[in-house]
Amino acid sequence: MELMRTFFLYLSKNKPLIKAARRYGLRFGAARFVAGETLDEATKVIAELNRKGLSVTIDYLGEFIDHEQEAEEMANQCIDAIRAIAEHGLDSQLSLKLTSMGLDISEHVVMKNMKRILEEAKAARVFVTLDMEDFPRCQPTLEVFKKLKAEYNDLGTVIQAYLYRTEKDLDELNPFQPNLRLVKGAYKEPREVAFPEKEKVDANFKKIIKKHLLNGNYTAVATHDDKIIDYTKNLAKEHGIRTDQFEFQMLFGIRNEKQLELAKEGYKVRVYVPYGTDWYGYFMRRLAERPANVAFVLKGIWKR
């Protein structure tokens, strides 16, 4: 299982395959996890999810941008998404990766693009989440978050349970009363910075969920794991935490029935809906996370 995960994470960064994926579009099962290549396709998917009682966070796929013009174009795509959310009255937030905004280029570039996006989001009342990426970009992402949070209220970020540093990060972010998405973590990290054992990751995940909720902060528990879901439910009941202080988040195309079940139980469920032509890296990480996803894709190819 770990070998398969390593294999797909390696493929996610293979540049020739990334280029080929852009050329050939959403094939070989990727359409299950990606809502289309255009904003129009994505808005239709969001509207349908909303009709089923599910909230959404939309993400225009793209990462590791190293040219300022590309970063500016990515920012333009995010602004278009915000405007579409407002125009169609969609129950949706926006998620983005700071590397797509120029994090690897310079602080000036990323801050310029983020302020453009956040000004648009503020006017449209759309919440924005800064997705977390691999370990070397963890601290830079949190630094950008802190600077922007001082000026923009409707802004959150992501904390990954598999990193040793996570509890300390929660303590440092707590004065901002942050709305955080808590996740296990989807990147391949060395054991020097991340728990290698699943049991320890799960234990730390529960620990930070409890800590963030008891700190009184809004908490998005992003998981498909029934044990983590049940833990969160029981924790909320035990401590009298209202259901409007937290939500469950799941990925588009994964555990659709569970999403609807939780929504019917009265919990807020937000679906992470990615779209765009740069879908390959995201798709490979989804295959790395769950062997069942690989089986689904192979089945789809065989049917062709």
Residues with catalytic roles: 131, 181
- Residue 294 CA to residue 187 CA, distance in Å, equals 17
Q: Is 127 exposed, middle or buried (0-12, 13-18, 19+ CB in 10 A)?
A: middle
DSSP 231-272: HHHHHHHHHT--GGGEEEEEETTSSHHHHHHHHHTT--EEEE
Nearest CA-CA partner of 231 in 258, 259, 208:
208
| Separation in Å, CA 214 to CA 58, 140, 204, 220, 265 | 28, 27, 15, 14, 22
Q: Where do we find the tokens 């590791």?
A: 64
- Residue 292 CA to residue 251 CA, distance in Å, equals 14
> SS3 for 160?
strand
| 239, amino acid identity | H
Beta-ladder partners of 101: none
Q: Residue 9: CB partners within 8 Å, gap ≥ 6?
A: 187, 188, 284, 285, 288
Beta-ladder partners of 97: 131
